[in-house]
Every structure is written in C-alpha cells, then in structure tokens.
C-alpha cells in the first residue's frame, strides 16, 4: 500500500526531477536508487524474459530445454498456474492448505512425502473464512507441535481483508515474491452465480495472469456439491460451473474416511500432466489434533470412498421382495400393492435399476463397496506415494 501511495504522489509530481526531492517526508531518490539496485541484482532467466513477451516463437520455446514440467510440489502441484482443493464442510481443506503454506515458508523439503521446490521460500494466505484470532490459535498450535520459533514464520503472509485483492497481491508480490498464494475461499471472492461459466473463467483469468506474471502457483479452496459423498470422488463434484474446473491445472478432492473420522482421503481428480494411477486411488492422510496431516502411505480406490446411501439399501431390500413376488407369479400391480407403492411403474423402475440378476446398475454402488478388502488397498511401503 505504501508503494501505491508513493506512486500516486510521484504521478502528481508529473515527471519532475527528484534528485533532491522528498515526497511526503519520503526520500524519493534513496527509494529509486534502491529499486534500481534491486533490479540490477536480479538476473532473470530466459523463461522469465519470455514470459513477459506477447509473442513467443516455437524456436524460443524449444530452446528453453524444459524436459520436465516445473513443479512446486513434485510431481503434484505445478510451479506456475491455478490449482484447486475442494471438499465438503469440516473436512480440513483450510488446514491442509495452511500446512502447505507453512512448509513452504519455513523451508521444509517435503510436503506429505512429496518434494518441495521453492524459489522464494515464501507464501501468501488469503483468509476470508478463518478470522485473525482463529488463525493465530492454529498457527500457535502448529508452532508448538513442530517446535517453531515465531520468527520462522516471517515468510508466511496472511491477508484477512480481500478488498481490491488483485491489486494488493500485485503490490505485495512486486515487493516480495512468493511461491504460493492460497485463496480461502473462492466463493467468498467470486460473489456471482456459480453456474455462469464465462463469468467464472473471466474472474479466474485475472488470477491466471497474476500467476504467470509473478511465477507462482495459486491454490483455490472451494466446496463440493451436496450429497456427492455418496459417489466416488470426481472433478464434476466441484460446486458451480465447468468453467472453474477447466481453468485449473490440478483439482483435488478431500473427504473424510467412512470408518475412521481422523482419516482423510486426498483424491487427485484432475491433473493435466499426472499419470492415470494418481487419479484413481486416494492418498490416505492422518489428521492430527495440532491441525496438521501426515501421509500414511496407504492408497484407497475411489470406488471404496463413497458413503453407503440409506435410500439405496432400502431399495435393494424392496427389490429382493419384488423379485421373490415375481417368481411367485405376482403381477406388477400386485407387487406394487405388497411393497406399498402407488403404481406398478415404481416396480418397473426397481427392476430396471437393479437388473434381472439383482445387480445394482445405478451410478452409486451399495454398501458392499464400502467394505474394504485387502486387494483394494495398496500396501503401505512407508515410502512417498509416487
């Protein structure tokens, strides 16, 4: 903000010579000299220089010699671009994102077993949900648990007022670059209809431009639609239009385990450059009282993460009764009366959904897919899951 005020004051001077000037008690010449020195001390890479160009040739792109996608968290989170973490209420989305920001800021080499590749060792956390006192409480809990001195969190910057956020982030990044910006939460900033794809994409484009301009990753915290817990994790569960998901280079869904309430499943449901194996099994995380997570090393297939739907179980029992009555020679009308249905069309629908052999063919499975088998869980090797 001080930079913006200074720029405004400089504009009022209208290109005057500031060699012996002060503005509002500020030694302008000293500030300008410092800015020149900082600029001269930086040696931008070929990649940084090309990123600022409007048009780049194929030759220039090939000569960058990029043989691997640059990542902030290898191989999951790209170095530059938009990513999203979605989930239902009270799953720990904010805690997981905050832990990543802390790990980056204190110089940790790993996050949940994945290697961290920082450039600036700094992160910005924009909090629209947790106020200052709650954030202070959580950071103190993590600091005690991890034996961190307050000074070690100096590189973690938290913004509680999202007003004029893009401009404020531009100023902040110009003064002090960051590897990661966390936006918690997207819905609070967007403030428009979620199902308007063009509006969503236009809103996100400003953040995509910001990420490209300053070479950082931006992580959006978002919500999933209601009752999606009854289905396997999917990128289509993210609340709102397809415009949100399509702008993200990576989308992960976080959900609570059906049997262990201290277990969470980090499910990568979209990853532009990740192998298929990453996008069909969860990474099982243990959630601790200090609001942090550890990776158990266990992987669970997405199909086994859907909650048992009580309605489906009841309909399966109805189907079993209907099948028995049908074998006894009862008509659909008689079966409907016996089951308490108002019309025989409900019986027809019951047979359509479960099939002639009793197999449930709707989009959600029955409870038996929630019963884990040894074959459904990848063995814990105590090694990073990649």
pLDDT per residue of the chain (386 residues) written in tens, 0 to 9: 445 444 434 443 443 444 455 555 555 555 555 544 444 444 456 777 777 788 999 999 999 888 999 999 999 999 999 999 999 999 999 999 999 999 999 999 999 999 999 999 999 999 999 999 999 999 999 999 999 999 999 999 999 999 999 999 999 999 999 999 999 999 999 988 888 899 999 999 999 999 999 999 999 999 999 889 989 999 999 988 788 999 999 999 999 999 899 999 999 999 988 999 899 999 999 999 999 999 999 999 999 898 877 667 677 888 899 999 999 999 999 998 998 887 788 888 788 777 643 443 333 333 434 444 344 444 444 444 43
C-alpha span between 237 and 85 (Å, rounded): 12
Q: What is the pLDDT of residue 384?
A: 46
Q: What is the pLDDT of residue 353?
A: 73
Q: What is the pLDDT of residue 40?
A: 44
Q: Cα separations (Å) of 50 from 67, 179, 287?
A: 17, 19, 42
Joined together, the tokens standing for residue 135 give 């954030």
Q: What is the pLDDT of residue 29?
A: 54
Task: Please check whether residue 242 is in contact with residue 197, taking contact to mean a CB–CB distance below 8 angstroms.
Answer: yes
Q: What is the pLDDT of residue 188?
A: 93
Q: What is the pLDDT of residue 22?
A: 54
Q: What is the pLDDT of residue 33?
A: 54
Q: How far is CA 115 from the centre of its chain?
A: 18
């Amino acid at each position: 903000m001080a930079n913006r005020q200074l720029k405004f004051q400089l504009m009022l001077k209208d290109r005057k010579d500031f060699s012996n000037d002060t503005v509002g008690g500020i030694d302008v010449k000293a500030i300008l000299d410092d800015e020149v020195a900082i600029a001269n001390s930086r040696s931008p890479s070929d990649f940084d220089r090309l990123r600022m160009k409007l048009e780049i040739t194929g030759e220039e792109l090939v000569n960058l010699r990029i043989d691997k996608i640059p990542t902030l968290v290898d191989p999951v989170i790209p170095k530059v671009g938009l990513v999203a973490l979605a989930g239902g209420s009270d799953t720990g989305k904010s805690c997981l994102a905050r832990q990543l920001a802390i790990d980056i800021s204190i110089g940790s080499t790993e996050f949940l077993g994945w290697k961290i590749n920082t450039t600036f060792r700094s992160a910005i956390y924009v909090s629209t949900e947790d106020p200052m006192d709650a954030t202070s409480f959580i950071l103190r809990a993590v600091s005690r648990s991890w034996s961190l001195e307050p000074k070690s969190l100096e590189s973690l910057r938290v913004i509680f007022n999202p007003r004029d956020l893009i401009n404020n982030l531009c100023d902040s990044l110009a003064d002090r670059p960051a590897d990661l910006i966390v936006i918690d939460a997207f819905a609070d900033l967007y403030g428009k209809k979620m199902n308007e794809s063009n509006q969503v994409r236009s809103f996100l484009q400003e953040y995509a431009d910001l990420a490209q301009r300053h070479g950082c990753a931006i992580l959006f915290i978002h919500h999933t639609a209601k009752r999606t817990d009854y289905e396997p994790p999917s990128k289509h569960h993210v609340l709102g239009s397809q415009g949100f998901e399509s702008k993200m280079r990576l989308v992960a869904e976080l959900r609570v385990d059906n049997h262990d309430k201290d277990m969470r499943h980090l499910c990568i449901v979209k990853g532009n450059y990740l192998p298929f194996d990453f996008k069909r099994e969860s990474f099982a995380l243990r959630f601790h009282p200090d609001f942090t997570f550890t990776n158990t090393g266990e992987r669970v297939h997405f199909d086994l993460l859907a909650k048992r739907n009580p309605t489906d179980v009841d309909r399966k029992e109805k189907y079993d009764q209907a099948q028995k009555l049908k074998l006894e020679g009862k008509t659909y009308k008689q079966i409907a009366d016996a089951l308490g249905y108002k019309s025989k069309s409900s019986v027809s629908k019951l047979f359509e959904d479960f099939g002639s052999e009793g197999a449930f063919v709707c989009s959600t499975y029955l409870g038996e897919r929630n019963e884990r088998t040894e074959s459904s869980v990848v063995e814990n090797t105590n090694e990073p899951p990649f």
